[in-house]
């Protein structure tokens, strides 16, 4: 460094200040992520979709709906490298990303079915490089929860037009790709969800004409590492 | 050689710009066929100017062409994780951070990093100089900086320690273990650049990453020349570590060198080719080679131990004779 006495001093104090600043930033990021992860664990117990109406932030951090084939949430965060391949191949553009600044889940894929639901084409599961989304075939949905487990639809009888007896809306039954497996019609065409068969794609939620959505996809209580692991497990 | 390097860099930038547009066209095609009202609405409303123009252009290109789906699905992703014609190429940092965050080793993914890994074992930080999209932006930024200096505005130039980036790598790896998810993805510029471009093209909005990149470029312009790549980038640190055993390196020919110092000025990474301190950090940009008026610098096949002994030899001569060479 060529420069005379005073300027060199200034550069040095500058440098020290800069290093201090960088140290501060690093420490605060580190501390923030530590506190954040504890916070996330706590929030993880709350049902995400209930929170969605309150605040999107709470929705993101408490476990948004993941694309089909997603492994259990903790493992998903470990595996997902946020490469956005899944969103690129999704034909209806159902996959979105958690906004940055939303804690450790920032930039991970999720689905918000009431705006755009998944059509279960399974393209995302085949393109994911790390098996954060386990590879699935299109037929796998007929095995229900055993293979595909995004969530479970729930009917709110206080809102459903048919349940209230106002009219005869068959929207959710008509659109469901798993008719009679996941959703059945009872007396007076009232829809009823069969949790074992429902894969949680959210097409019913997307199409429901009630503004507040009388049928909603909720996260499953416990997601196990499902039996879709290909033969000869590739993870060690 | 600079021409080849520049073309490759532009090609990579084009790749991370065009691939999302291609896939957006796929979405558009799906929306046209489907009867869903929300998709139809989406089709008309939320597209920016670039997206609309690109879709019109691709409509004309793919007119009467049968294999459009095949073309669209033939290439996906960015250099962070690229899926091209059925082959996968990924960044070593992705595999390292993911494995260390607790996912375990996933062999198909590990094999996909082999391409860049071997390249680094052979050539060191070749990813940085030839592929990284941020590096290209930063080089253009540096040109602006040189213009400022030329006009008489002297920007600050802070020097930090080079080992900072290894510390950043180590700290982030440790915190990735604690947090249980990879933290590099938020700050690793090549990924951030491609992801923000993707967000813009697909969703019409950008995230925090854009501000991060602007912040980096601005500080590199005003405070410290190329500080991110030189002193901070964890990816660069990983590539340097891989490149510490590199087989091909830039070597200075002592008989030709006249110690004019042009190469030291030219190096964007602040290395000093004139005193043989390139080693594992050199990114093969070849600017020093281009700057040398005597053609004294060239790529040679030279393993680590040979370089060491060569440098020691040169030092000894320097001590004995008091002159260089
Ligand atoms: S299965 Fe198909 S529609 Fe559903 S999220 Fe994946 S790519 Fe999108
Ligand atoms: S393709 Fe897999 S790793 Fe990539 S963003 Fe989607 S879920 Fe994550
Ligand atoms: S150091 Fe990092 S940001 Fe710079 S060129 Fe290398 S990978 Fe890109």
B38 within 8 A of A206, measured Cβ to Cβ: yes
Please identify, among A136, A165, A189, the residue that sits at the C-terminal boundary of a domain: A136
> In CATH, what number is assigned to the domain containing residue B304?
3.30.70
Please identify, among B197, B215, B241, the residue that sits at the C-terminal boundary of a domain: B241
Indicate the helix (H) or strand (E) that contains A185: strand A183-185
Q: How many domains does chain B have?
A: 2
Of A33, A84, A90, the CB nearest to B195: A84
Q: How many domains does chain A have?
A: 3
pLDDT of residue B205: 80
Range(s) of the domain holding residue B259: 247-324
B30-80 residue pLDDT tens: 887 776 655 665 565 556 788 888 888 888 888 888 888 888 888 998 999
Shortest distance between the Cα of A34 and any Cα of chain B, in A, equals: 7
pLDDT of residue A40: 55
Quick one: tokens of B53?
Answer: 């123009």
Q: Report the nearest atom of ligand 2 relative to the CA of A127.
A: 1
Query: Contact A79/B199, CB-based, under 8 Å?
Result: no
Whether residue A129 is found in the same domain as residue A193? no
- Give the span between the Cα atoms of A166 and A156, in whole angstroms: 15
Quick one: tokens of A189?
Answer: 């065409």
Instruction: Tell me whether residue A168 is in a domain.
Output: yes
Whether residue B162 is found in the same domain as residue B230? yes
Q: What mean pLDDT is reported for chain B?
A: 85
Whether residue B207 is found in the same domain as residue B281? no
Cα-Cα-Cα-Cα torsion B262, B266, B272, B273, nearest 10 degrees, comes to: -70
B126 within 8 A of B283, measured Cβ to Cβ: yes
Whether residue A172 is found in the same domain as residue A213? yes
Whether residue B286 is found in the same domain as residue B230? no
A158-202 residue pLDDT tens: 888 999 888 888 889 998 999 888 999 988 889 999 988 888 888
Of A19, A88, A129, the CB nearest to B88: A129
B270-303 residue pLDDT tens: 888 887 777 788 888 888 888 888 888 888 888 8
Phi, psi dihedrals of residue B300, rounded to the nearest 5°: -135, 155
CA atoms within 13 A on the CB side of A29: 17
Whether residue B177 is found in the same domain as residue B279? no
Confidence tier at A228 by pLDDT (50, 70, 90): very low
Return the percentage of chain B with pLDDT > 90, whole number.
24
- Give the span between the Cα atoms of B80 and B88, in whole angstroms: 10
A37 within 8 A of B178, measured Cβ to Cβ: yes
Instruction: Tell me whether residue A207 is in a domain.
Output: yes
- Give the span between the Cα atoms of B46 and B35, in whole angstroms: 18
Instruction: Tell me whether residue B1 is in a domain.
Output: no
Instruction: Tell me whether residue A112 is in a domain.
Output: yes
Ligand lying nearest the CA atom of residue A70: 2
Among B297, B282, B277, B298, which Cα is nearest to B126's?
B282
Shortest distance between the Cα of B230 and any Cα of chain A, in A, equals: 15
Range(s) of the domain holding residue A192: 149-218
Please identify, among B220, B241, B262, the residue that sits at the C-terminal boundary of a domain: B241
DSSP string over B82-104: EEETTEEEE-HHHHHHHIIIII-
> In CATH, what number is assigned to the domain containing residue A192?
3.30.70.20
B218 within 8 A of B151, measured Cβ to Cβ: no
Name the pTM for this structure. 0.83
A94 within 8 A of A119, measured Cβ to Cβ: yes
Please identify, among B225, B241, B257, the residue that sits at the C-terminal boundary of a domain: B241
Tell how far the Cα of A104 is from the centroid of ligand 3, in angstroms. Answer: 23
Residue A127, chain B, CB below 8 Å: the answer is yes
Whether residue B229 is found in the same domain as residue B259? no
pLDDT of residue B299: 86
Whether residue B130 is found in the same domain as residue B232? yes
pLDDT of residue B234: 92
Q: Residues 145 to 184 of A: which have CB under 8 A from any B CB?
A: none
């Amino acid at each position: 460094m060529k420069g005379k006495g005073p300027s060199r001093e200034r550069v040095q104090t500058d440098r020290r200040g800069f290093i201090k600043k960088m140290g501060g930033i690093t420490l605060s990021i580190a501390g923030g992520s530590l506190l954040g992860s504890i916070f996330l664990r706590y929030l993880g117990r709350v049902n995400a979709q209930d929170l969605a109406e309150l605040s999107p932030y709470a929705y993101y951090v408490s476990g948004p709906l993941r694309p089909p084939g997603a492994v259990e949430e903790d493992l998903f965060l470990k595996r997902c490298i946020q490469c956005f391949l899944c969103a690129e191949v999704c034909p209806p553009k159902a996959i979105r990303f958690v906004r940055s600044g939303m804690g450790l889940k920032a930039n991970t894929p999720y689905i918000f079915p009431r705006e755009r639901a998944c059509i279960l084409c399974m393209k995302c599961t085949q393109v994911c490089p790390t098996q954060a989304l386990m590879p699935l075939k299109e037929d796998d949905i007929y095995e229900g929860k055993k293979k595909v487990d995004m969530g479970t639809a729930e009917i709110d009888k206080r809102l459903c037009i048919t349940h209230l007896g106002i009219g005869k809306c068959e929207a959710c039954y008509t659109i469901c790709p798993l008719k009679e497996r996941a959703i059945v019609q009872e007396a007076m065409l009232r829809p009823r969800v069969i949790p074992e068969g429902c894969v949680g794609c959210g097409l019913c939620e997307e199409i429901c004409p009630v503004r507040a959505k009388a049928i909603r996809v909720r996260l499953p209580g416990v997601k196990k590492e499902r039996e879709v692991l290909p033969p000869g497990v590739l993870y060690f | 050689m600079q021409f080849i390097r520049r073309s490759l860099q532009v090609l990579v930038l084009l790749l991370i710009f065009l691939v999302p547009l291609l896939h957006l066209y796929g979405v558009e095609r799906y929306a046209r066929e489907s009867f869903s009202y929300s998709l139809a609405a989406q089709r008309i409303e939320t597209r920016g100017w670039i997206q609309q123009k690109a879709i019109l252009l691709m409509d004309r290109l793919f007119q009467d062409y049968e294999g459009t789906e095949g073309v669209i699905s033939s290439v996906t992703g960015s250099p962070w994780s690229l899926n091209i014609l059925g082959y996968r190429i990924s960044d070593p940092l992705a595999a390292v951070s993911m494995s260390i965050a607790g996912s375990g080793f996933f062999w198909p993914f590990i094999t996909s990093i082999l391409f860049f890994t071997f390249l680094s074992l052979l050539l060191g930080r070749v990813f940085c100089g030839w592929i990284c999209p941020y590096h290209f932006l930063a080089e253009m930024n540096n040109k602006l900086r040189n213009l400022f200096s030329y006009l008489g505005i002297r920007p600050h130039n802070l020097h930090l320690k080079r080992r900072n980036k290894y510390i950043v790598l180590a700290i982030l790896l440790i915190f990735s273990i604690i947090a249980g998810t990879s933290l590099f993805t938020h700050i690793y510029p090549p990924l951030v650049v491609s992801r923000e471009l993707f967000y813009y093209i697909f969703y019409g909005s950008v995230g925090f990453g854009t501000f991060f990149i602007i912040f980096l470029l601005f500080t590199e312009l005003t405070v410290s020349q190329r500080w991110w790549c030189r002193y901070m980038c964890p990816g660069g640190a990983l590539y340097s570590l891989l490149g510490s055993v590199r087989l091909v390196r830039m070597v200075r020919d002592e008989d030709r060198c006249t110690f004019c110092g042009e190469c030291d000025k030219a190096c964007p990474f602040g290395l000093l080719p004139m005193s043989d301190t390139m080693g594992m950090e050199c990114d093969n940009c070849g600017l020093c080679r281009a700057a040398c008026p005597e053609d004294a610098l060239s790529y040679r096949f030279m393993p680590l131990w040979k370089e060491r002994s060569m440098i020691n030899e040169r030092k000894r001569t320097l001590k004995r004779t008091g002159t260089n060479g």
